[in-house]
Amino acid sequence: MIYAYPMDLVLKALAEPRRRAILRLVWSQEMTASNIAANFDDVTRPAISQHLRVLRDANLVGDRRDGSRRLYRANHDEMVRLRRFLEQYWQSSLERLQDGAEAAQRIKEM
């Protein structure tokens, strides 16, 4: 079951560049926090765990236990929800632009 999370939590999570990089790493494969941390020279393992917690709280990544390991993977469904949310802004902006252009054309034709 996918829970509805506030979109501002998702946007805040994605505002941090390292979190976006982590999301790219786990987009198509499960990884442990240690494997993720190995991709960052300037970030400690505990810091990666903090970033993963923020991503998990925003429902952008999921995790599962495999013995003593915890594996993380991107939540594609939440990313689809984010995309739809952002497309609504894009679509409404285009509609307002079209309405403005049509109004300007009508005024010009008068």
Closest CA to 23 of 51, 42, 64, 44: 51
Q: pLDDT at residue 8 above 90?
A: no
Q: pLDDT at residue 102 above 90?
A: no
Domain 7-109 has CATH 1.10.10.10: yes
Q: Give the model's confidence band at 75: pLDDT under 50 very low, under 70 low, under 90 confident, else very high.
A: very high
What is the length of the chain? 110
The answer to pTM > 0.85 is no
Does residue 64 or residue 90 have the better pLDDT? 64
The residue extents of the domains of the chain are 7-109
Identity at 13, one-letter amino acid code: A
3-24 burial, b at 16+ Cβ within 10 Å, e below that, comes to eeeeeeebeebbeeeebeebbe
Query: Quick one: pLDDT at residue 94?
Result: 63
Query: Quick one: pLDDT at residue 77?
Result: 94
Query: Quick one: pLDDT at residue 99?
Result: 66
Phi and psi at 68, nearest 5°, equal -90, -5
Query: Quick one: pLDDT at residue 93?
Result: 66
The full DSSP string for the chain is ------HHHHHHHHTSHHHHHHHHHTSSS-EEHHHHHTT-SSS-HHHHHHHHHHHHHTTSEEEEEETTEEEEEE-HHHHHHHHHHHHHHHHHHHHHHHHHHHHHHHHHH-
